[in-house]
Amino acid sequence: MKQTSSCLRAPGILFLLLLFSISVFGQTITVKGTVKDASSATLPGVNVRIQGSSTGTITDVDGKFSIQVPSNAKLEFSFVGYTSQLISVSGKTTINVTLSEDTKALSEVVVVGYGTQRKEAVTGSVASVNGDQLRDVPAANISRALQGRVAGVEMSQTDSKPGSGMQIRIRGTRSLNATNDPLVVLDGIPFSGSIGDIDPNIIKSVDILKDASATAIYGSRGANGVILVTTIKGSKGQSAQLSYNGYFGVKSAIKFPMMNGAEFAAMRKMTTYANTLDESNDVNTDWQDLLYRTGVVQNHNLNLSGGTEKGNYNFGASYFRDQAVIPLQYYTRYAIHSSLDQEVGKFIKVGFTSNNIYSENHGNNLGPGSALNASPIANPYNADGTWKTRIQQQTSGAQWVYTRNSLESLGDQYIDLTRGFSSYNSAYGEVKIPGVEGLKARVNLGADYIQSNYGNYTGVGVFSGSVTNPSTASISNSHRLKWTVENLLTYDRTFNKLHRVNAVAMYSAEQATYWSSNASAKNIPSDAFQFYNLGQSNSADITVNPNYQNYNKSGLTSAMGRVMYSYNDRYMLSATVRTDGSSRLAPGHQWHTYPAVSAGWNIKDESFMQPLTFIDRLKLRAGYGETSNQSVDPYKTLGLLSTSPYNFGDNTYATGYYVSQLPNPKLGWEFSKTWNVGVDFTLLKSRLTGTIEYYIQNTDNVLLSVSLPRTSGANSYMANIGATQNKGLEVSLNGVVLDNVNGWTWEVGLNVYTNKNKLTKLASGASQDLGNGWFVGHSINVIYDYKKIGLWNTTDADYKYLQTLQPGGNAGMIKVLYTGGYNADGTPKRQIGPDDRQILNCDPDFQGGFNTRVSYKNFDLSMVGSFVSGGILNSTLYGGSGYLNNMNTRAGNNVKVDYWTPTNTGAKYPKPAGLQSGDNPYYASTLGYFSASYLKVRTISLGYNFNQKWLQYAGISKMRIYATVENPFVLFSPYHNESGMDPEPNSYGDQNVAVAGSHRMLIVGTNTPSTHNYLIGLNVTF
């Protein structure tokens, strides 16, 4: 019986224990704790969430939290910039957590204008690139480092000389006469200089605001997008840290494709031109080899940073020099930067940032053109082996011998120097309002000064075929002074651990003053004077042209309010209203107010999304906003007077004035309305992240210079007439293919985007403006010209109509599309003429960039590139507007081409010395049009990171060495395949050409050649 009782008692006890364990396991308990970082500082705003549930809370200002959870739950602690932690509750009621910093996740904090946001809370279109990514591409200008990095942001080369900048277009071209350049903001203050003035070594991050809901906070200045540049600063509590970053490299020119002596002599035989005394068919002179040198580029940066318990500091200096492959052409930049942030007591914080740059740019008016124009059968040497100073060429006469030796021997006979100094300074004071949690008042002050001094001197006979050509000199000076004052009130607080509110109110004012002067002279008495004393010339030889003197002043006053709201990091809403008043516009039309609103939904946080474990983050967002543009020159509302000299008698003259531009008392704002929708996602445990966006932007009241008939007595007036539209799709992807698999890590990034713009309205309801190349319903970027369809050959079915279509035409000439009608018998009704010109769209179908990085233990290999598909590339090297005057076989036409002969009828280029229009074959401009497609690897870098123990004994905390190749190769480019040259543009349409085209259209011209660069670098931190 006892045995039976004990047997029954054992199962009973087990049953009671099971019931107890179930009750404990399902019990809800309250867990409290504190979250700190590695330095034991508390972390407010940390997300504390039950794994697999939408239930959660956030830590308060002291880093404390309290949450009710099942005793068997797991808590996930996450905070932007820190590595997340998953901790089992296991019945514990107190859990204290220390989060470690995640350097990879720091990029999740983005600058959005007058503040920062966590990326998951951003509702506008914002793209971010950190400073380390920028420095993957060694460049003097951060715009070159950004090229191909951000979807929707097109960086186009406008010049290939050292120190040159790039054209930046964020989501296309929208304005016709006003600027399309984005606003650059440096450390919170609108930047009045060139983006090239910002030293890439000091950049912490670049955040690009692309849609109106994001840019509206900057008002009219943000109409074309905003680039926010944040510089490196010290950290609180950081011990002093000294770092050096530098590289040194050499550059070799990518040569233009010129004929050699034998090829040139063979082509000349087909013409009536004869050799000059300096030419012989057995001579083969490569003028490019005689001109180019090995270029040298170097960069050195020294930086000191650190901090105390209540402050931080950063000081640094850098030196950059780019010596071009063209002799005497170089760019040198010296930069000093400093920043300081300091807390004073509990409520006050002050700080300043200062960036100062001095630069020298020499030889900007030099280029390869004279070498490309030189005859390859001309001998540059005398019989005794010495250099000739001049040679005779067909039709162009005597020419100065343009070689490396002749340039480097000039000494004081030549100087072309621009000295620039710029100082960009900002300071702030911030006060926490006692008694009101989250309320701060702040004042930002900005003061910029930019100065440029240019001087040029060319001695007697220099660069001229005449030894007696007089010496000339000129000077130009410009100054810009700008101040900015911003008064801000911000309120940032979380209510009930669920409702986050950030509100900003601002009132600001700025003023910019610019003045410049110019003078020139000839017959300078001595080379020693150069341009430093024009007064030594006779008064009759000194010119002070009133059209080259300038002064203007403009101001902008603004008020702005923005509210950002977030509920449980799940639903976000942002609303902005801003009003601007500009002195550049007409009274009664100077003020404009525009709203912006955007919303976001972190849909992954919804309970119905929890089963989809492969999705880590999914956010939908949409926005609408309006922005304005007032970027026309000051005083456009007043009209313009220009000067003209009038002669009276033999020796006297007077200066008269005439109206060149009529005033417009109704000149107002150009404004844009933009819709933007997007989705942000993170998949597969953060292995794949991406963004997809679509936008439509309509711009009205476009600022446009309207041409007037001569009978009006003026040339034009500025008005708000016209409209444009931009729309596009952007895709950005970043993935981790291998994540430390046996020491291997592989990361890849890709962005692809398309932008389609079109004119929707022109002045007076016109459908086209032929003078400017504008056509309603078509892109702003078009070429209006004939369409080449081949060359005429006697075997063509329509060859019998050649004399009708082109009287005097012959086989081997360019054949263009005929769009006219035909008679009943099939004959053309007319000859080819202006009505046959076509509207040719230059915009690409899509473009983008890519990057990849592979690392194995301490080694890393990275590659950055960009690509374009479709569109038209205009190369004046081949076209009729260039200096080379194709196919007439006189001096200056020696670009190497496959030209038509009776035995080479399938050639691409026309018969030499065939039917001509002026200096060129008929329709020669069509020869310069190529497909703009290419895929270009811009840099390949191989690096090694040292972590050996001996570094610690030497006081070194980090050290890396690397080698980089720039512009190693180009793929899928018809232009590169034919010429071997870089398919990226290098000039504006009215530069480096004999016949100027449209300035806005970028071309490949005869500019300083692109180069292959080979660099080695060192990064070390003490």
pLDDT in tens, 677-697: 999 999 998 899 999 999 999
* Average pLDDT value for the chain: 88
Q: Considering its fold, how many domains does the chain have in total?
A: 3
Where in 587-639 does DSSP place strands (E)? 591-602, 615-629
Distance CA 623, CA 597 (A): 6
Which residue is associated with the tokens 């008005």? 719
- In this structure, of 252-256, 437-441, 874-878, the range with the lowest mean pLDDT score is 874-878
- In this structure, of 379-383, 815-819, 952-956, the range with the lowest mean pLDDT score is 952-956
> Is 716 contained in some domain?
no
> Is 433 contained in some domain?
yes
> Is 66 contained in some domain?
yes
Confidence grade of residue 882 (pLDDT, cut at 50, 70, 90)? low
Neighbours of 96 (CB within 10 A): 12
What is the model's pLDDT at position 884? 57
Residue 649 pLDDT exceeds 70? no
Confidence grade of residue 102 (pLDDT, cut at 50, 70, 90)? low
What is the model's pLDDT at position 559? 95
Confidence grade of residue 597 (pLDDT, cut at 50, 70, 90)? very high
Tokens of 206: 């670049």
> Is 33 contained in some domain?
yes
CB 615 within 8 A of CB 688: no
> Is 258 contained in some domain?
no
Distance CA 381, CA 290 (A): 12
CB 573 within 8 A of CB 565: yes
pLDDT in tens, 815-839: 999 999 999 999 999 999 999 999 9
What is the model's pLDDT at position 571? 95
What is the model's pLDDT at position 150? 93
Confidence grade of residue 644 (pLDDT, cut at 50, 70, 90)? confident
What is the model's pLDDT at position 7? 44
Distance CA 257, CA 962 (A): 33
Supply the DSSP symbol for 388: P
Amino acid at 42: T
**Of the residues 59, 80, 98, which one is the last residue of a structural domain?**
98
pLDDT in tens, 760-801: 998 878 899 888 889 999 999 999 999 999 999 999 999 999
pLDDT in tens, 196-238: 888 888 899 999 999 988 888 888 888 899 999 999 888 877 7
Query: If we measure between CA atoms, which residue out of 478, 466, 471, 562 comes closest to residue 512?
Result: 478
pLDDT in tens, 833-866: 999 999 999 999 999 999 999 999 899 999 999 9
The more confidently predicted of residues 6 and 245 is: 245
Tokens of 903: 């035995």
**What's the gap between Cα 748 and its chain centre?**
22
Residue 104 pLDDT exceeds 60? no
> Is 975 contained in some domain?
yes
> Is 893 contained in some domain?
no
> Is 212 contained in some domain?
no
**Of the residues 517, 547, 577, which one is the last residue of a structural domain?**
547
**Of the residues 81, 98, 115, which one is the last residue of a structural domain?**
98
CB 534 within 8 A of CB 542: yes
- In this structure, of 206-210, 296-300, 986-990, the range with the lowest mean pLDDT score is 986-990
Query: If we measure between CA atoms, which residue out of 412, 333, 326 comes closest to residue 365?
Result: 326
Residue 1 pLDDT exceeds 60? no
Where in the sequence is the domain holding 73, given as residue range(s)?
28-98
* Domain CATH code at residue 69: 2.60.40.4130
What is the model's pLDDT at position 5? 44
Mean pLDDT over 801-806 rounds to 95
Distance CA 960, CA 945 (A): 4
Distance CA 505, CA 578 (A): 10
